[in-house]
Amino acid sequence: MPIVIVTIAISCYLSWKALTCSPGFLWRMQAVIAIVTKGGNCFKEANLTDADFTGATLKFCDLRKADLTRTRFSKVKALEYARLDNTYLANPQIRQLVVTLDGQSQNFDGLNLEGVNLQGANLQDASFIGTNLNNANLQNANLSKAILKQAQLDGTDMTGAILTGACIEDWGITGSTKLEDVQCDYVFMRLETKDNPNRLRKPDNWGETFALGEFADFIKPYVDTLDLYHSQDIDPRAISIALKNLSTNHPEQELRFVAIERRGNNGLNLRFTTAAGADKSELSHQYFRDYARIKKELPLTVQLRLAERDAEIRTLKDTIEQFIQTGTHQSKIQAETIQIIKGELVMTQNKGINIHSGGGSIGDISGLVGGDGVVNLGTISGNVTNTLAQLPESEEPSEPNLKELLTQLQQAIENASDLSTPDKADLLEQVQALAEAKQTEEPAKKEGLTRKARKMFEATLSSLPQTASIVEACTKLLPMILKGLGLPA
């Protein structure tokens, strides 16, 4: 009897050591399992895709080489006694994860988790750097503050997942990644490093968060392109200038404009292809930094003149403005290629707008702004004069001579003692816009130009007394100018 007790005790000890995968004993566990599974359920090489074993006891089952894509193992019992060769379950860490669905604060960097079912799992603060999560089920998983840098997510179902505070630097989502109903207040586009603590939070303003469902609109499809998402206060002029600067500063990245997309209710996304291996995170960072600087530092008038100087940028600006004003029912505009050849616009289809240029950065505002930041009114006025010179003379003596009326308005603005230099510049730009409205045959564009001009005049003159000479001149000339454009006063 004592011998039997001792034998049982030794067997229990050896079994415990094997179960804990202690060195020198693991082979015993594997040998025992190989023997006993011969009498258990056999799923060897079986297709168990989307099968659900929740709460089941899989002791002595043979799962070798089985297809376990999205197979549910939540709360499974005795899985360590099953034969798991050539499956992801052979890894004790992965096995524990799919059974407990608790990976909080754990490190899964570089692991092959392809096809795992982690529906509803707690993955807060977990690290998945370079992890293969292709075709995995992450529905309703809590990935808040998780690190998904370079994680592979092709075909992954993230429906309803929580991504608030996650780092998504260079993550590999594709068109087949499901992001419906993702819950996300904000994300970080880059992992913090010792040399660069800026994590590139999106939305950029720390006081703002994504609205319900807005994250999916912002991020998808983020596939092999540089996506520049604008959620509010969209300024086509600043966008155009910042893009020109980015292209000029990085000619090796071969930026090519692909499309404008409407994201959500107010969002606007510009998509670009880049050279292979381009650091899209850094390009995005540089662009938005420059975009913010341009909006903040450059007067409206200077932005307009900068955009007008470059035909490529003017084309892009006009495209964006037209999309915002008249593209209410469109969600996407696929652009055509627009290249500049000897000053002429040449269009070829299905390639995207090429914004690469050998010219200098639009950030160089010499000639338009003096060294002290003062607007060069003479240059602006000269541009207006050149535009007015292109207008035709009136063929009917009884009709208003639009060219003459606009010239009178220009002179009245330039001589107005009640206007500051920036206000003069703003109004002169609107004189040029009215001249351009005469030259366009597109009713929507003509209406947009005149509407903006009228608003600018109204806003600028509203603070002046009605007896001011410029107010009296505009009151007299503007109705006649609108009549000359064929529009109601």
Architecture in CATH of 95-354: 3 Solenoid (2.160)
Compare 474 and 340 and report the one with higher pLDDT.
Answer: 474
pLDDT in tens, 37-56: 444 557 788 899 999 999 98
> What rounded mean pLDDT belongs to the chain?
75
pLDDT in tens, 156-175: 999 999 999 999 987 878 76
Q: How far apart are CA 20 and CA 24, in angstroms?
A: 11
- At residue 115, the pLDDT reads 94
Predicted confidence band of residue 145 (pLDDT cuts 50, 70, 90): very high
Predicted confidence band of residue 395 (pLDDT cuts 50, 70, 90): low
- At residue 36, the pLDDT reads 44
- Please give the angle made by the CA atoms of 270, 273 and 279, to the nearest 5 degrees: 100
Q: How far apart are CA 219 and CA 225, in angstroms?
A: 11
Whether residue 331 is predicted with pLDDT greater than 50 in this model: the reply is no
Predicted confidence band of residue 144 (pLDDT cuts 50, 70, 90): very high
Whether residue 122 is predicted with pLDDT greater than 50 in this model: the reply is yes
- At residue 428, the pLDDT reads 87
Q: How far apart are CA 323 and CA 263, in angstroms?
A: 13
Predicted confidence band of residue 107 (pLDDT cuts 50, 70, 90): very high
Compare 433 and 376 and report the one with higher pLDDT.
Answer: 433
pLDDT in tens, 188-208: 988 888 887 888 898 888 888
- At residue 350, the pLDDT reads 34
- At residue 262, the pLDDT reads 66
pLDDT in tens, 208-264: 899 888 888 787 545 567 778 776 667 777 888 888 888 888 888 888 777 777 655
- Its pTM stands at 0.45
Whether residue 82 is predicted with pLDDT greater than 50 in this model: the reply is yes
Highest mean pLDDT among 122-136, 314-328, 472-486: 122-136
Rg of the chain (C-alpha set): 33
Domain with CATH 2.160.20.80 in the chain: 95-354
Q: Please provide the distance, in angstroms rounded to a whole number, between the alpha carbons at the two ends of the chain.
A: 113
- At residue 232, the pLDDT reads 64
- Please give the angle made by the CA atoms of 165, 166 and 171, to the nearest 5 degrees: 150
Out of 75-89, 134-148, 368-382, pick the least confident.
368-382
Q: How far apart are CA 244 and CA 357, in angstroms?
A: 8
Looking at 72-226, list the stretches that DSSP marks H as alpha helix, in order from N- to C-terminal side.
92-100, 214-219
Closest to 355 measured CA to CA, from 426, 271, 421: 271
Predicted confidence band of residue 387 (pLDDT cuts 50, 70, 90): confident
Are residues 210 and 239 in contact, defined by beta-carbon separation less than 8 angstroms? no
Whether residue 348 is predicted with pLDDT greater than 60 in this model: the reply is no
What letters, b where the CB count within 10 A reaches 16 and e where it falls short, cover 448-467?
bbbebbbebbeebbeebeee
Are residues 55 and 74 in contact, defined by beta-carbon separation less than 8 angstroms? yes
Q: What is the percent of the chain with per-residue pLDDT over 70, rounded to a whole number?
A: 70
Within 13 Å of residue 299, how many CA atoms lie on the same side as its CB? 21
Predicted confidence band of residue 344 (pLDDT cuts 50, 70, 90): very low
Q: How far apart are CA 408 and CA 403, in angstroms?
A: 9
- At residue 249, the pLDDT reads 84
3-state helix, strand, coil in the chain (%, to 5): 40, 15, 45
Average pLDDT over residues 444-473: 82
